[in-house]
Amino acid sequence: MSSKSVVTIERHIIEAERQFPEATGAFSSILYDVAFAAKMIAREVRRAGLADVLGYTGEVNVQGEEVKKLDEFAHEVIFKALDHTGHLCGMASEEVEDFISIPDRFPTGKYCVLFDPLDGSSNIEANVSVGTIFSIHRKVSDHPRGCVEDCLQPGYKQVAAGYVVYGSSTMLVYTTGNGVHGFTLEPSIGEFLLSHPNIRIPSPGQRIYSVNEGNYGKWFPGQQRLVDHLKGQDGGPQKPFSARYIGSLVADFHRNLLYGGMFMYPADAKSPNGKLRLLYEAAPLAMIAEHAGGRASDGTGPINQIMPRSLHQRTPLYIGTTEFVQMAEQFLAEDRTVEPEAVSIEAIAAGV
Ligand code: AHG
Ligand code: MN
Ligand code: MN
């Protein structure tokens, strides 16, 4: 038998908490509850191929009950795992428009949790990896039961962040600022076991870029030049990068975290802020990337320095191996130094 000890996520969280004698256990308990919700979601995701058979279609089933879609189901599981614990002053979810208050019948606490319950949900029918992303902040408002201000905090203030990837196995990866640690679900005993302690983005690692290149024609010139460069199409001496794009942010990010690489979701003429959400997607993954030795940027600077103005704010995202993200920032900066093209009086008069 191996001499390595088996560490459950519960044990890992408790050991980490011991380093803070003043800790009340509230924070550990939130992490544990998120891990519990992840197991519930993993179980449903495993049965997703049976959606039509079992009726998980978002429509009314034969009993006349409305059957939830998987992303709404995932939202509810997380909400219900956390609403009654007394540790939270509120939540925010990609699936809900406004700040989510704790029901009046439950006590409140000093943290808030923000989450993308099911990331990459359009992939679910095709049996492709999906995920859950979460972010934890300390309560900062004076409101006795919390308010939106508690969620609208810049990423560098996160006290923990993590994600779950429902792939060939289910993995939970999280950081509290003291290393990035990955756990794999052992389904037969229902426990997350420490499988990837102290994850670091390999450097030098693999040269991978992940982007929806179908949008090339809409991109700004700097983004186009960057991708041309990564492909070695600009006459540079470098060996081309490999392209890998799943279309599930969590899965694309996870692969690049383990192998090396950069995920991009740029701004373009149609979506000047890109597609991804700052608070539910970019900021938590940025915390993980940074604590694994990587970088996350909106193309101009660190994601986690952005002061959010609204819950569902979007941001361009460049995340992964530090030197690749810095290279992206340099290419994009060139666009900003180019003088805007002179616009002719005739063009203005013609309303162009
Ligand atoms: P969600 O399923 O939470 O709405 O997120 C989908 C996101 C993200 O997972 C992925 O990276 C991106 O959408 C893919 O977008 P495109 O289809 O535009 O490439
Ligand atoms: Mn998402
Ligand atoms: Mn989602």
Ligand 1 atom closest to residue 250's alpha carbon, by position in its atom list: 9
Give the pLDDT confidence score for residue 344 in this predicted structure: 46
- What is the Cα 59 distance to its own chain's centre? 28
Q: How confident is the model at residue 298, as a pLDDT? A: 98
Q: Name the residue of 265, 285, 317 whose CB sits within 8 Å of the most ligand 1 atoms, as the mutation to test its pocket.
A: 265
Q: Which of ligand 1's atoms lies nearest the C-alpha of 280? A: 3
Residues 6 or more apart whose Cβ sits within 8 Å of residue 185: 38, 39, 42, 169, 170, 171, 172, 191, 192, 193
**Could you say which residues of the chain have pLDDT below 50?**
55, 61, 342-348, 351-352
Atom of ligand 1 nearest to the CA of 118: 3
- Å from CA of 95 to ligand 3 middle: 7
| Residue 209: closest CA among 188, 191, 226, 192 | 226
CA-nearest of 327, 334, 331, 300 to 316 is: 300
Nearest to 264 by CA among 240, 291, 289: 289
Return the domain boundaries, the chain.
3-196, 208-349
Calculate how far, in angstroms, residue 122's C-alpha sits from the geometric centre of ligand 1: 8
pLDDT score at 337? 77
- Give the per-residue pLDDT at 103: 98
| Separation of CA 132 and ligand 1 centre (Å) | 12
According to the CATH classification, is domain 208-349 in 1.10.10.60? no
Residues paired with 162 in a beta bridge:
134, 174
Residue nearest to ligand 1 atom 3, measured at CA = 119
Q: Which pLDDT score is estimated for 123?
A: 87
Residue 52: predicted pLDDT: 57
Q: Whose CA is nearest to atom 11 of ligand 1?
A: 249
241 to 27, 244, 259: CA distances (angstroms): 41, 10, 13
Gap between the Cα atoms of 107 and 37, Å rounded = 20
Per residue, the 3-state secondary structure of the chain, as one string, reads CCCCCCCEHHHHHHHHHHCCCCCCCHHHHHHHHHHHHHHHHHHHHHCHHHHHHHCCCCCECCCCCECCCHHHHHHHHHHHHHCCCCCEEEEEECCCCCCECCCCCCCCCCEEEEEEEEECHHHHHHCCCEEEEEEEEECCCCCCCCCHHHCCCCHHHCCEEEEEEECCCEEEEEECCCCEEEEEEECCCCEEEEEECCCCCCCCCCCEEECCHHHHHHECHHHHHHHHHHCCCCCCCCCCCEECCCCCHHHHHHHHHHHCCEEEECCECCCCCCCCEHHHHHHHHHHHHHHCCCEEECCCCEHHHCCCCCCCCECCEEEECHHHHHHHHHHHHHHHHCCCCCCCHHHHHCCC
Q: Which two tokens stand for residue 113?
A: 């949790």
- Look at residue 22 in the predicted model and tell me its pLDDT: 81
Q: Tell me the ligand closest to 280's alpha carbon.
A: 2
DSSP-derived pairing of the beta strands 242-243 and 295-297: unpaired
For 167, how many CA atoms within 13 A lie in the half-sphere containing its CB?
16
Q: What is the pLDDT of residue 116?
A: 97
Please state, in angstroms and rounded to a whole number, the distance separating the CA atoms of residues 244 and 197: 25
209 — phi, psi (to 5°)?
-120, 145
Ligand 1 atom at shortest distance from the alpha carbon of 212: 19
Nearest protein CA to atom 12 of ligand 1, as residue? 247
Contact predicate 198/74, CB 8 Å = no
Could you identify the residue written with the tokens 């983004």?
223
Ligand 1 centre to CA of 67 (Å) is: 23
Residues near ligand 1 (Cβ within 6 A): 94, 116, 119-122, 212, 247-249, 275
Question: Superfamily assignment of 3-196 in CATH?
Answer: Fructose-1,6-Bisphosphatase, subunit A, domain 1 (3.30.540.10)
Q: Which atom of ligand 1 is found nearest the CA of 263?
A: 11
Q: Please state, in angstroms and rounded to a whole number, the distance separating the CA atoms of residues 303 and 158.
A: 12
Query: For residues 173 and 30, is the Cβ–Cβ distance under 8 A?
Result: no
